[in-house]
Amino acid sequence: MRPAFILSILAASAVATDSLKWKDAEPTDQLLWKDTITNPEIIKRIENMDMSTTVDKRSLSSVFDSVTKSISSAVYNLLWTVVAAESLGISKLKDDVSSALSQDIEYRIIQIVEDAKKFMRHSKRNKLLVSDINNALKVRNLEPVYGYELGSKVQYSSVSTAFEDIYYEEEEEIDLSTIINEPLPKIPPKVTYTTHWLAIEGVQPNIPQNPTSSEADDVKKQPLTTSAPETNNVFQNQTSSGTAPLVKHVLSKEHQLYFECVKDSLLSSEKSIQAAAYECVSTDSGIHQLVPYFVQLVSDLIIQNGSDLNTLNISMRLARALLLNDHLYIEPYIHQLLPSLMTCLLGKNLCNDYTENHWSLRDTAASLIGLLCTTYGQSYHTLMQRLSRTFIRSVLDPSLPLETHYGAIKGLYTLGPEAFRVLMIPNIKAYSTIPESELLSKNPGVVLAAEKVLMLLAQCLQEYAKFLKEKQLAGSQNEHQDLIDSGNLESKLSEAYGDKISSLLLSNTEFKPWLHLLLI
């Protein structure tokens, strides 16, 4: 841009008046614009105009509009370019060169400012900072401006000259000898990484790496912190020795309302409302924070209602819904969920009346334990070993009731056919004497339990025979056809598993073709 040219245009515009007629103007008025305008380019353009026509203000202004529109935004003074050239030893700089340099400098300044405004907008700010200018310079591969920081105060001093006041920035003089003689700073330590427990099951260990209790108290005083609902002791924090509950599990109000609604629906007497609650727990993806509360709810329902079969069934269905939800991460809570499942599987008195169907409750608990072993057996290598050891000890303990034996046998079979073959099949004949002797009892509850145990053993053997047939682990049927044709199958089964169990095995014609595989 050309600042001198702008001044010439503005001066010429000031000469023009409303309805000015150049041919009728006084000689002094006709020469006024020549005295004002010194730029030869503008003078030449005005002299070439047709002065014989009447020119009003609008027509005269159109002559200068094309020029003024393009240069009206000039911000870089031509004098600055001349002063900069003189400071570099260039005393005679031509006007056209200085004009071209001024235009280029102004264009570059506008480019950098526009780029800096982009950084400002992307930073969600309305104030342009020094860092924005430096980032704009870096983008254009230019060296940033050093010595200017955010918040730093820059002081300028003025020097009066014959033409105008010149301002300069005051710079502090630093003696290099003082810097050289100063002691060297300490070498910073190398970057190292360490690991520590931030929280264990929602409880923060009291170690130096974690915040102190006073810092935790400051966090608790923040207005955004809310406390979880306290209902049925579900949300009470349990701590172990050596730990301090510095970090609490905080729930939003929405999660609290969700938990209360699901809990009330589970305890409702209407089956449709209960089914809706189970479906929500088994399918919703945004309830991961509620998993420890639901697990604790399962435990509390079992502890507080140990003989209420309906409540125990509700707790098992809730546990099943949690395990079937693919969006939830249940693995950290297995050790809290297993005791509840084991209680419903091996418990002695799960109902008030022996005629109630507590056997289905034990079957459900066994299936959930089998689901846990299938899903997390590889992560916890000792899980199946510990469960199978617990089950076989319960089966071989004659002091335990037959209801517990039933649950242990069912749980042992859910661990897999191989576990049943190794641990249970060699002991079936010796164990079968216990339920067979209880069939003669005068207690109808004991007799019913003995029948259930014998039927379960027969069912497990039939399923195991079917498994052998499908996997073809034994020889072909033709090799053992003589056992079936000669009628030796029943005697062989009685010898291997007892009279009562063999009769139950032969009563089911569906599995009879495969029973000879149990004798191999």
Q: DSSP characters for 175-229?
A: -HHHHHHSPPPPPPPPP------S-BTTB-B--TTSPPHHHHHHHHTSTT--PPP
CA-based Rg of the chain, rounded to a whole angstrom?
A: 47
Strand partners, 200: 203
Dihedral sign (CA 465, 471, 475, 477):
positive
Residue ranges covered by each domain of the chain: 61-148, 254-425, 427-475+484-519
384 Cβ partners below 8 Å, 6+ apart? Answer: 373, 377, 415, 416, 419
Give, to the nearest 10 degrees, the angle between helix 95-122 and helix 78-87: 100
Q: Which two tokens stand for residue 372?
A: 């846990």
Residues written for the chain: 520
Pairwise CA distance, residues 115 & 191, whole Å: 36
DSSP 3-state assignment of 95? helix
Hey, how many other C-beta atoms are within 10 angstroms of the C-beta on 332?
13
Helix (H) / strand (E) element for 370: namely helix 358-376
DSSP string, 227-289: PPP--TTTT-----TTB---S-----HHHHHHHHHHHHHHT-S-HHHHHHHHHHHHH-SS-GG
The CA distance from 79 to 99, in Å, is: 10
Query: Which residue in 352, 357, 325 sits closest to 449, CA to CA?
Result: 357
The rounded distance, in Å, linking the Cα atoms of 116 and 139 is 10
What token pair was written down for 146? 């050093």
- Asked if residue 196 lies in contact with residue 207, where contact means CB atoms within 8 angstroms, the answer is yes
Long-range pairs for 489-496 at CB < 8 Å and ≥24 separation? Answer: 489/515, 489/516, 489/519, 492/519, 493/518, 493/519, 496/429
Smallest CA-to-CA distance from 9 within 48, 50, 38, 30 is with: 38
Question: Which CATH class for the 254-425 domain?
Answer: mainly alpha
pLDDT in tens, the chain (520 residues): 333 333 333 333 333 333 333 334 444 344 344 444 444 555 555 555 544 444 444 444 444 444 444 443 456 777 888 888 888 888 888 888 888 888 898 899 899 999 999 999 999 999 898 889 999 999 999 888 877 766 667 777 888 877 777 777 777 788 888 888 888 888 888 888 888 888 877 777 778 777 776 665 665 555 544 344 444 444 444 444 444 444 556 778 888 899 999 999 998 888 899 999 999 999 988 888 899 999 999 999 998 887 888 999 999 999 999 999 988 888 888 888 999 999 999 988 888 888 888 899 999 999 999 999 888 888 888 888 899 999 999 999 989 999 999 999 999 999 988 888 889 988 888 898 899 888 888 889 899 999 999 999 988 888 888 888 877 654 444 444 444 544 577 778 878 888 888 888 888 777 777 777 777 6
pLDDT of residue 69: 41
CA angle 106, 109, 114 (to 5 degrees): 125
The one-letter amino acid at 250? V
Task: State the Cα–Cα distance between residues 400 and 345, nearest whole angstrom.
Answer: 13
DSSP letter for each residue of 450-509: HHHHHHHHHHHHHHHHHHHHHHT-S--GGGGHHHHHTTHHHHHHHHHH-HHHHHHHHT-T
pLDDT for the residue 96: 86
pLDDT score for 222: 55
Pairs from 471-476 (Cβ < 8 Å, separation ≥ 24)? 474/517, 474/520, 475/520
How many whole angstroms from its chain centre is CA 372? 25
Give CA separation, 177 vs 180, 182, 186, in Å.
5, 9, 20
**Gap between the Cα atoms of 372 and 466, Å rounded:** 24
Q: Strand pairing of 156-160 and 165-169?
A: antiparallel
Q: What is the pLDDT of residue 342?
A: 93
DSSP per-residue string spanning 101-144: HHHHHHHHHHHHHHHHHHHHHHTT-SS--HHHHHHHHHHTT-PP
The pLDDT score that the predictor gives to residue 135 is: 92
Is 61-148 CATH 1.10.20.10?
Answer: yes
